[in-house]
């Protein structure tokens, strides 16, 4: 008999975390979703996260630590800094790093998990995040999971589940398509406008992922063409 889990899913409202939620429910997990309001400028992701939970009829916990944004300065996601456009491998994309963000999100989700009787938390970090974000890499997830298990010992023994950490965003798109994720209701863009901009790195990555997966992207973009020029000649990785 398959072992099912009660899982707290870190939910941003984007295509990755939405696919993760759909996948875990398909696998038989009992889920709740956790969204952390850390003062991010692109507020539409919070609305999308709430909508994803509602579609799946699972509990949603919105944790407000927005005051943190006053101290997480210098990031285009929390501060008055222009969101860079282009490829994730560009040096300029360091401006999208929120200091220690995943440690913060996982710590909050870990507390919510224990309080709600969950035995694990799930995060949708994936291989495409490794270029820019050190807290999306396998060694961080492994270390954080071990620490969380110690911190919650005898109070739930919570660990971190990151099934996408070694796969690409295109593979996530393919999985989500099979699972029936409502793509047009997810939110990815860092600009946070009325529609996706199509030019910021996360929009470029999303459009490329759907193209590589052979999946029709139903989402409206202000610019749905220039991403092809960006990915045709990506710069060298910020890690060399």
Entry pTM: 0.87
Give the domain extent around 143.
6-232
Give a yes or no: residue 159 inside a domain.
yes
Give a yes or no: residue 237 inside a domain.
no
State the Cα angle at 19 between 30 and 179, rounded to 5°: 85
At 238, give phi and psi (nearest 5°). -65, -15
Domain count, the chain: 1
Give a yes or no: residue 204 inside a domain.
yes
CA dihedral sign, ordered 146, 147, 148, 149: positive
Give a yes or no: residue 1 inside a domain.
no
DSSP state, residue 98: P
Contacts for 25 with CB less than 8 Å, ≥ 6 apart: 31, 56, 58
The CATH number of residue 227's host domain is 3.40.50.620
Q: What is the pLDDT of residue 70?
A: 67
Q: What is the pLDDT of residue 127?
A: 79
Give a yes or no: residue 238 inside a domain.
no
Sheet holding 6-10, edge to edge: 60-64, 30-37, 6-10, 120-122, 159-161
Q: What is the pLDDT of residue 190?
A: 80
- Given a contact cutoff of 8 angstroms between Cβ atoms, the answer to whether 159 and 148 are in contact is yes
DSSP state, residue 62: E
Give a yes or no: residue 117 inside a domain.
yes
Give a yes or no: residue 147 inside a domain.
yes
Give a yes or no: residue 60 inside a domain.
yes
pLDDT one digit per residue (tens) for the chain, 240 residues = 456 899 999 999 999 999 999 999 999 999 999 998 877 767 788 999 999 999 999 999 999 987 776 666 555 454 455 554 555 555 445 544 556 678 888 999 999 999 999 999 999 998 766 566 777 788 989 999 999 999 998 888 899 999 999 999 999 999 999 999 999 999 988 877 889 989 888 888 899 999 999 999 999 999 988 888 877 765 554 444
């Amino acid at each position: 008999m398959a072992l099912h889990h009660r899982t707290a899913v870190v939910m941003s409202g984007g295509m990755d975390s939405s696919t993760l939620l759909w996948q875990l429910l398909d696998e038989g997990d009992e889920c709740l979703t956790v969204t952390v309001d850390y003062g991010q400028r692109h507020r539409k992701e919070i609305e999308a996260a709430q909508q994803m939970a509602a579609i799946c009829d699972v509990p949603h916990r919105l944790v407000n630590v927005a005051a943190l944004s006053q101290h997480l300065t210098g990031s285009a996601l929390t501060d008055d800094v222009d969101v860079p456009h282009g490829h994730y491998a560009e040096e300029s994309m360091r401006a999208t790093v929120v200091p220690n963000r995943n440690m913060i999100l996982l710590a909050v989700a870990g507390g919510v998990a224990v309080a709600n009787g969950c035995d694990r938390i799930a995060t949708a970090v994936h291989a495409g995040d490794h270029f820019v974000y050190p807290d999306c890499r396998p060694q961080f997830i492994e270390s954080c999971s071990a620490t969380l298990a110690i911190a919650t010992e005898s109070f739930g023994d919570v660990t971190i589940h990151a099934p996408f950490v070694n796969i690409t965003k295109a593979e996530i798109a393919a999985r989500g398509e099979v699972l029936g994720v409502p793509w047009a209701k997810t939110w990815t863009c860092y600009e946070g406008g009325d529609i996706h901009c199509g030019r910021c790195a996360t929009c470029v990555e999303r459009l490329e992922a759907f193209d590589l997966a052979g999946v029709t992207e139903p989402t409206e973009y202000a610019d749905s063409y220039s991403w092809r020029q960006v990915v045709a000649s990506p710069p060298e990785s910020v890690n060399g």
